[in-house]
Structure formats: C-alpha cells, structure tokens
Amino acid sequence: MKKYDQIYIGGEWVDPTGSGSFQVIDASTEEPIGTVPAGSAGDAGRGVAAAVGAFEAWSRTPPQARAGVLSRLQEGLVARQAELAATISAEVGMPIRLAGAIQAGLPAVVCGSFAALLREYRFEEPVGNSMLVREPVGVVAAITPWNYPLHQVVAKVAPALAAGCTVVLKPSEVAPLSAFVFAEIAHAAGLPAGVFNLVSGDGPTVGEALVMDPRVDMVSFTGSTRAGRRVSELAAATVKRVTLELGGKSANVILDDADLEKAVRSGVNNCFLNSGQTCSAWTRMLVPRSRYEEAVGLAKAAAEKLTVGPASSESTRLGPLASRAQRDRVRRYIEQGVAEGARLVTGGAEPPAGLARGWFVRPTVFADVRPEMTIAQEEIFGPVLCLLAYEDEEDAIRIANGTVYGLAGAVWSRDPERAQRVARRLRTGQVDVNGGAFNPLAPFGGYRQSGNGREFGRHGLEEFLEVKAIQT
C-alpha cells in the first residue's frame, strides 16, 4: 500500500486543507493499493502562489543549469523504474511485461530528450533589425490523465521546466500514485522550492480552480474531448494559453498492395495496446473490399491469441481496464455495435472466462462496420477494433477523414511513394507508414477535435515559450 496524506507545495510536503481522500484500486483484483489526498480549491491556490513566487528566479536560471536538473530527474526516473512500472501496471492494468518499457521507461527517455534539446536550443535569434527572444510563458497548470499517467506528466512538466516555467500538477485521481513518486524524484533532484508543485484532487474541484486562476498563464491538458471543451471554456475568461491533447478515432489504412498479414497483425496489436486505453490507437482498420474477409479472419486470429489476465502476470498480453466505470462504458459500446448491426467476429460484452474479479473486457473485433455507426465515430477507449471495407484509394481517404478527430493514423503499402502520398492526405497529426516507430523528438498532437498544440521535441518546448521582438 502506498499511502500519501500530504501534497507537495513550495518544496515541502504539506497537509491539504481538504479532508477527504481518493482510494486507488488495483484494476486486476479490485483491491485497494493506495490513497492520495482530495485537495481543495484552496490547495490549488496555494500551489499557484508557490509557483508564482518561484517563477522569477527559475525563469532567469541559465538553460544549462535547467538541463542539469532535467538530467537528474531522468536519473531518478531510471533508478525507480521497476517500482514505477509495478505501480502503474496495478493502477492502469497494463501488463507488467510492457509497463517497464512503456509506462516507466519511456518517460525517462522523454525527460532526457528535453535535457539534450535544452543544451542546444537557441532562445534568441536575429531577424532583420529585430532580436527575437523566446521567454517562458509563466505559471503552467498541468492536468494529466490516467491511461499513461507518468508519461503524460513528463510530457508536460519536462518541457515546461526546460522553458523556464513553473508548474502546478494535478494528476488523475484514478491513477495518481506515480505522480507522487515523481514529486519525490523532483525533490531529490534539487528543484528550487515552488518550481514544481503537486496538488491531487478531482477535476471539478482542483482542476477547474487551476484553470480559472488568473495567476495561471497556461493550461496543458490531456483527457477526453468533452473535458477539453470545458477547460477551453473556463480558460477563456482570462485569455490564457491552452494546449489540449484529446481523443482520437485513428484509421489504419491498408492499401490493396500491402503485406496484409503484417498490416493486420500490427494493427490489432496497436489497437489493443494498454487494453485499448490509448488516444492514438488505430481503432478503425480500413481494408479493400477485395481482401476484406481475409483481413477479418486474420484480425480474429490475432485478437484471440492475446492472453487476457492479471496485469502482474508475465504471460498476460491484455490486462484489465483502469476502472469499473471505464469497463462498463466499453461494454455498452460493444452492445451498441451489435444493436446497430455490426458483425461480432470475436469477443463481446460478457466478462472473460475465469476472471470474475477485475475490470476485464474481452478483446473484441467487429466486421461489417459502416462509417456512420457509433462504434466507428466515437472513441471507445477499450479493446475494440472496427473493420471497414472501402472501394478504392479515394474512398479509403474519405472514410479515414470522416470523423471529428484527427490525432493519429497509419498507412500500409509495398510502394513507399504511394504510402507517403496517402499519408499526406490524412487530416491527422501523426501517421505511421508501414509500422513506423514512435519518435520522442517528433511533435505529437491532433487536428480538429483531437486538440491543439503539440508535445515532445522542439515543438513541445515551444508551446511553453512566448516570443518577444526587440527592435533596434
């Protein structure tokens, strides 16, 4: 049990003014594994005050010194990687064999990438008779989700600190424990008091207080599109900068000349990573009608090979969902898919055999999905794959772009030039061609209702910078 009864403000662990707490539950067993405080709006204000007080000195700290702090943060994350992997695996349900590299390892890599970038980034640039000076935007409220809890913390906090901003972090109350470990690492790394602050609590109480606080200069939010709209509405009152990383309904476009077996297998694995709790998951598989039934059979076989079980088991490939509410939501989508006439190829809304406890959902594949169906339009956020048939390349592009989202996607073809051509026509922030690997230096973010702004690399750093022109 990890029991936290204090929040981190001004370089110290302090008692919250709120009296409640959140119980953190193991997604595989439904047993409690920790508690964190339920902070109040007043606690959010205390965190902002500490960040305001620390901003002037931190913003003037030389970039090389800030890079040193980020390097120490990276070292701390690496030193506690096994602990973080086990914690997040239990909170979220990602199998332990994957959590080490993805949930705990990748944040360390990202933190290190910003330390390296900071050592070479030019904050001043002459343009004609002007000197362009990039300065930190100010105090940042970082509000993070539960599906990749540490990764999203680092994706916001690391570039904010690199830019010279100070931060108040509100993690999700569903999976907050890794954020508290991160605060311990930040304290040990020697961050000056008030540069990083952690206030746990729910969205309506702590999150909205941070968004509305006039002393907060920027909000960086990751979560649902519905919640992102609310953040934008509240932030508009003080005209603060807002970056949003929201939902997705990404298309995996398999062209008629692709290696079908490889494309389908990779698509299934991508869709079901983290039990489908990934905003950029390729949840729509678009296949030429001439090869459709072959693809359906391959997807069924790939999904049925995934071993469902407790996240702590080394043999598990598909763990539970992160909460009871999320499990129930996904099951309702599966039922709706059947009701709207989609063909249930494998899986379904019933619990997996032998798993009476834990928030499990069977890996589910739907065929005969029409583009207008609910399961083809709305983000399910669970292990549910939709296969859609298309007539030709133009039809595939039309279907791929036919949702309100635009976060990620994929294209498969034996012809690299053709794949690139189709990728350029997808209205989405990232496209993987023939299984292209994740790049922590490339910008990540979405078009349309998948949000605005970018994370990672130079573009992620610049979200936290203002540009000043000094004329001479």
Structure tokens at 419: 């794949």
Q: Assess whether 245 carries a catalytic annotation.
A: yes
Residue of 91, 173, 208, 245 with catalytic role = 245
Residue of 271, 279, 379, 455 with catalytic role = 279
Q: What is the C-alpha separation between 364 and 115, in angstroms, rounded?
A: 41
Length of the chain: 472
Which residue, among 52, 49, 22, has the nearest Cα to 36 in the 3D structure? Answer: 22
Which residue, among 354, 320, 329, has the nearest Cα to 28 in the 3D structure? Answer: 320
217 Cβ neighbours under 8 A, 6+ residues apart: 137, 138, 139, 140, 165, 240, 241
Q: Assess whether 279 carries a catalytic annotation.
A: yes
Catalytic residues: 245, 279
